[in-house]
A and B are shown apart, each in its own frame.
Chain A
């Protein structure tokens, strides 16, 4: 039972990180019908940007204000990268066959990933200890302060995003663009700005996810974007790609799945099981759990 509760806590923590990153995939997919393969590498880049802001700009301060500044600055940086990425690599291809955009996304992914390597070097870097190491022992289940922060902050961000998309006019514009871009344009919605907005939101959420990954796992490498990106993408498919609550649910479920595999089977097989899960979903129910949008088969 202890192992169950412990893995439940761990699973929810990593699940909320997956969910944050998955939101970036699913929002871009919702509007552009494009899998933004560069998103995972942006998440990795965010951890490195955060590291540099901590050492160069903040002078290694770990006060609450400093930590908040690191999060905000990293999110702003990645939002800018996201907008530039969309402008340079995706917008010229909006009318092209969609697999061209996929190739462009892969190219962008390689550029960002290897850009990180050229700037910060190929070796693993250690992310600073921004949050004090506090642990609570709740009857055999150990929970850390970092876990609580990650879980709470992710939930707050996800709920606000949900409310933003469902309750505001701008959110309505996002939903309209994802249903039918041309009709949205006829209704006076500036689809280009909506897409830019999507990239800003998705990239900033991804940036927060990247910093969480740094805080939680500590070791960050230039090529970790592929791994976390793929996991988050699987989470998005699991929940139903294009569906915002689906990405949150999928992220949590995948996090739990991973934690239980690691707890009960073996962590050396976690990747294999996760991908077998993905393959099964795509074969059995390609629309995911909450997905109404059918994954096209052509």
Chain B
């Protein structure tokens, strides 16, 4: 089993690295979607899985990144790559500012407030606040990817852009797990009172987790805007947040679990059209079952009945 753990990641990454050359253009697009939503789900995992905060507004930060890129590119003529720093920074700042007054709320209240943020955000986009969001139609006709004057318009280039973002996210999460903030988040998720009593400033770390998760989601938003060359409000409705939330929960806050969740929710519906209408129904049952069969399933994430090699990278920190 240990051997499998050691090889699973390199094999997965190697397969992902050569994947676009094995697929036709339709499946390349599906693969890009898979990468983008994996990054968003991982960013949700930082807030929900790693820190235990019931955030159901991740689509807000995702959308904010996408809109930052779209507005800067379309209205101000920045190149896509040049928008990346702001597409990370603006959602991260919003994450910090929005989280500030609410992180002390208990899980279920936090959940409702973050839904509220998401709904307010979509309403702001639809009402075309400041005349820059394009209203209900959104913004379309973004430039394609280019770097140092080299045009990277092909879908394969976008795929590698998304892949690079995924690698960066995995790297951040790996480092987070082994760093002081990561350990602090781990403690405060397990027992906030105990964490406070050993001198961890839980408030600061919670806000930090929100900012980090928001920034990564924003970066994924840039990739999304690049892939579709357009953004529109309905892509960031809070039902999307529900998706990310349930993927992280059912996936048990582990990387294989999240990959599987994103695959089931976004790739399977492409293969079986019929499944698209059933996916939420089935996921709802999965959420109930996961809680009943493993009442402490996510708290902490120990999925005892699942073979051990699948739990590698689980939030227990291995």
| A interface with B by C-beta (< 8 Å) | 35, 88-89, 92-93, 95-97, 99-104, 106-115, 117-118, 122, 223, 230, 233-234, 237, 268-269, 271-272, 275-276, 278-279, 282-283, 286, 295-298
Contact = CB atoms under 8 A, between A and B. Distances in A.
Contacts of B283: 107, 110
B280 interface: yes
A238 to B, nearest CB: 12
B37 interface: no
A279 B296 CA distance: 29
Contacts of A122: 277
Max chain A CB contacts within 10 Å: which of B109, B193, B297? B109
Interface residues of B, number: 46
A93 B291 contact: yes
B131 to A, nearest CB: 15
Contacts of B111: 102
Contacts, number: 136
Contacts of A111: 281, 284-285, 288
B318 interface: no
Given A107-B288, A272-B119, A297 B108 contact: no
Contacts of A295: 105-106, 109
B120 interface: yes
A228 B132 CA distance: 30
Interface of B: 54, 101-102, 104-109, 111-113, 115-117, 119-120, 123-124, 126-127, 192-193, 239, 242, 245-246, 249, 277-278, 280-281, 283-288, 290-292, 295-299
A122 B102 CA distance: 35
B296 A97 contact: yes
Nearest to B122: A271
B291 A268 contact: no
A282 B277 contact: no
7 contacts: A89-B288, A97-B296, A99-B107, A110-B281, A113-B284, A230-B116, A279-B102
Contacts of A237: 109, 112
A272 B129 CA distance: 13
A109 B287 CA distance: 10
A233 to B, nearest CB: 6
A107 B108 CA distance: 14
Given A268-B123, A283-B101, A297-B105, A278 B285 contact: no
Given A104-B287, A275-B116, 8 more contacts: A99-B299, A102-B54, A103-B249, A104-B292, A106-B245, A107-B287, A118-B278, A269-B123
A274 B299 CA distance: 32
Given A118-B277, A268-B127, A110 B108 contact: no
Contacts of A97: 295-296, 299
A97 B297 CA distance: 10
Given A100-B291, A100-B297, A286 B109 contact: yes
B127 A269 contact: yes
A114 B280 contact: yes
B120 A282 contact: no
Contacts of A114: 277-278, 280-281, 284
